[in-house]
């Protein structure tokens, strides 16, 4: 799940994959919502099964990405790679860079956001068992 502070009604879910940070592919979604996410807590869920990855916000499935495909022919050799391996969960607050609309972002611009903090109530992890 990704979120830009200057777009409080938008959420994104992105899978990043590839050989290096500067040579990568991605899949996922970008969607506008009728409410400002910064106004209250929300429940973000990533349901990662052997056949698909689903992004869920407040109990509603937002996007499903099938793993029954080759994400990068010539680099990965089987459907579902690299999402058939263990991954780390990273919680990150990053301000700056080109993610903010494609142009460089000055972190001082965050002073105009409704909320310029990352607040996490809890993190829960379950293991998928077949």
pLDDT in tens, the chain (130 residues): 887 777 889 898 888 888 887 888 889 999 999 998 888 899 999 999 999 999 999 999 999 999 999 999 989 999 999 999 888 877 776 665 566 665 666 777 777 776 667 788 888 888 877 6
Vertex 97: Cα angle to 13 and 5 (nearest 5): 55
C-alpha–C-alpha distance, residues 122 and 100, integer Å: 26
For residue 95, the model assigns a pLDDT of 62
């Amino acid at each position: 799940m990704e979120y830009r502070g200057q777009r409080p009604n938008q959420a994104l879910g992105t899978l990043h994959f590839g050989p290096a940070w500067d040579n990568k592919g991605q899949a996922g979604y970008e969607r506008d919502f009728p409410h400002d996410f910064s106004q209250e807590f929300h429940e973000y869920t990533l349901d990662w099964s052997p056949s698909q990855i689903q992004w869920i916000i407040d109990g509603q499935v937002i996007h499903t990405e099938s793993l029954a495909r080759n994400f990068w022919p010539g680099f990965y050799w089987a459907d579902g790679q690299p999402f058939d391996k263990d991954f780390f969960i990273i919680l990150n607050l990053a301000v700056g860079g080109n993610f903010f609309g494609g142009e460089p972002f000055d972190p001082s611009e965050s002073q105009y956001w409704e909320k310029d903090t990352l607040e996490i109530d809890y993190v829960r992890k379950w293991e998928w068992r077949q």
